[in-house]
Amino acid sequence: MKVFTGLLAVVLMAGLMACPTAVNAQDNADPEAIVVTVNGKEITEQYVADETQKQIQAQARQMPSGMEINEWMRNQIRIGVVDMIIQQALIEEKLADKEIAIGDESVQEEIAQIAASQNLDPEQLQAEVARYGMTMDDLEKQIRLRLQIEALIEEEMEDNDIDDEAVRSFYDENPQHFEQPEQVRVAHILILTQDKTEQQKAEALRLAEDVLQKARDGEDFAELVRAYSEDPGSKDQGGEYTFPRGQMVPEFEQVAFTLEEGQISDLVETMYGYHIIKKRDHIDAVKRSFEDAEPVIRDYLVRQKRGRFWEDYIEKLHADADIEFSESEKQLRQSGAQPGGMPQMTP
């Protein structure tokens, strides 16, 4: 579930790996030591260590059992956290300069929208947030910051418009986004033969022929699916699949597209086993009209333009900022430039 959205999200360090027993590379450092100074604002070791440990714990919840992490990877988590803290400090400084504030009511409305979009009640949302090592207070701070950033962009960005020609060009140059190919909707019963002995395959064939006869005698196809199908991907959905050409194995696809609506196939043998296919529906190819797609395209292009503006804006904040790392942090970043090895699975 994607709960965390916005132009600046709290870093979850996706793709980096941690473990429950992993510790910060600077565990023995003075908690009051200054790690980095950002335009005169001092960031302490304690704050960096706390935020790093949050990310380690969040990643630990997502890891498969038995995965270990080496010191280099732990250092990368810390470096990413420090970079996030620097960026956040620069943004907060700019927000203060511009006196951009967001009220509690707006934050709570946004949280309610997130919960509704994910069909979560307040308790479920809180549990989901906790999975990322965060509290509801953390989420509120993140949302408040995102809303402030959106207001900052609105104030700072001079040209937020997209001309009609750009919208039309996107529609003409990206037909794949607006075309739905020809599709079929079928239900099927699968009797597996994969990884079976010749005797077991013969028994599977006899069973498949018996089930096929039951289907042709008019027995309820959905009931037959529940009783006999061995396809875990569709059994709970009545054996149904809806798909365009090119997604299924060729033998299955060819029959599915040539059947008449309501028709039941002969046995279809594939690498998986014997299939009995019933055609439910044929869905013709359609293309979304430009008039229908235009507001969606315009919204996408506006967001894309705002994203590029924000990247440039952040880059300029960094370029204009006075950022000074401690000597130990400089050394950590230099040593972290080359990996010391990848995570290893334990025996």
- Looking at the fold, whether 132 and 214 belong to one and the same domain comes out as no
Provide the CATH number for the domain around residue 198: 3.10.50.40
Nearest to 157 by CA among 169, 149, 165: 149
- Looking at the fold, whether 156 and 43 belong to one and the same domain comes out as yes
- Looking at the fold, whether 56 and 142 belong to one and the same domain comes out as yes
pTM: 0.62
Q: pLDDT at position 111, please?
A: 94
Query: Token digits for 38?
Result: 């950002």
The beta strand positions in the chain, using DSSP E, are 34-38, 41-44, 179-180, 183-192, 240-244, 268-269, 273-283, 286-287, 323-325
- Looking at the fold, whether 73 and 137 belong to one and the same domain comes out as yes
- Looking at the fold, whether 80 and 111 belong to one and the same domain comes out as yes
Residues 6+ apart with CB under 8 A from 134: 10, 54, 58
The Cα–Cα gap between 215 and 190 comes to 13
138 close to 129: Cβ distance less than 8 angstroms: yes
Q: Is residue 168 a part of any domain in this protein?
A: no
- Looking at the fold, whether 106 and 217 belong to one and the same domain comes out as no
Query: Token digits for 164?
Result: 């009609």
Beta bridge partners of 191: 274
Q: What is the domain extent for residue 196? A: 179-286
Q: Is residue 253 a part of any domain in this protein?
A: yes
Q: pLDDT at position 14, please?
A: 30
Q: pLDDT at position 58, please?
A: 73
What total number of domains does the chain contain?
A: 2
149 close to 91: Cβ distance less than 8 angstroms: yes
Amino acid identity, residue 273? G
- Tell me the average confidence (pLDDT) per consecutive run of 10 residues in the chain, 347 residues long: 32 30 53 94 94 80 69 84 94 94 95 90 89 86 93 90 95 93 96 95 97 96 95 90 94 96 96 96 94 95 94 95 94 67 36
Q: Is residue 173 a part of any domain in this protein?
A: no
Q: Is residue 171 a part of any domain in this protein?
A: no
- Looking at the fold, whether 120 and 39 belong to one and the same domain comes out as yes
What sign does the dihedral 318-307-134-52 (CA atoms) show? negative
Q: Which residue has the tokens 């014997």?
A: 274
Where among 268, 286, 304 does a domain terminate?
A: 286
Q: Is residue 220 a part of any domain in this protein?
A: yes
Nearest to 305 by CA among 170, 114, 130: 170
Q: Is residue 167 a part of any domain in this protein?
A: no
- Looking at the fold, whether 282 and 299 belong to one and the same domain comes out as no
- Looking at the fold, whether 69 and 146 belong to one and the same domain comes out as yes
Q: Which residue has the tokens 């028994």?
A: 203
- Looking at the fold, whether 125 and 62 belong to one and the same domain comes out as yes
- Looking at the fold, whether 305 and 275 belong to one and the same domain comes out as no
The Cα–Cα gap between 341 and 71 comes to 9
Provide the CATH number for the domain around residue 98: 1.10.4030.10
Q: pLDDT at position 281, please?
A: 96
Q: Is residue 184 a part of any domain in this protein?
A: yes
Q: How many CB atoms lie within 10 A of CB 196?
A: 13
Pairing of strands 41-44, 179-180: unpaired
- Looking at the fold, whether 63 and 206 belong to one and the same domain comes out as no
275 close to 267: Cβ distance less than 8 angstroms: yes
Q: Is residue 347 a part of any domain in this protein?
A: no
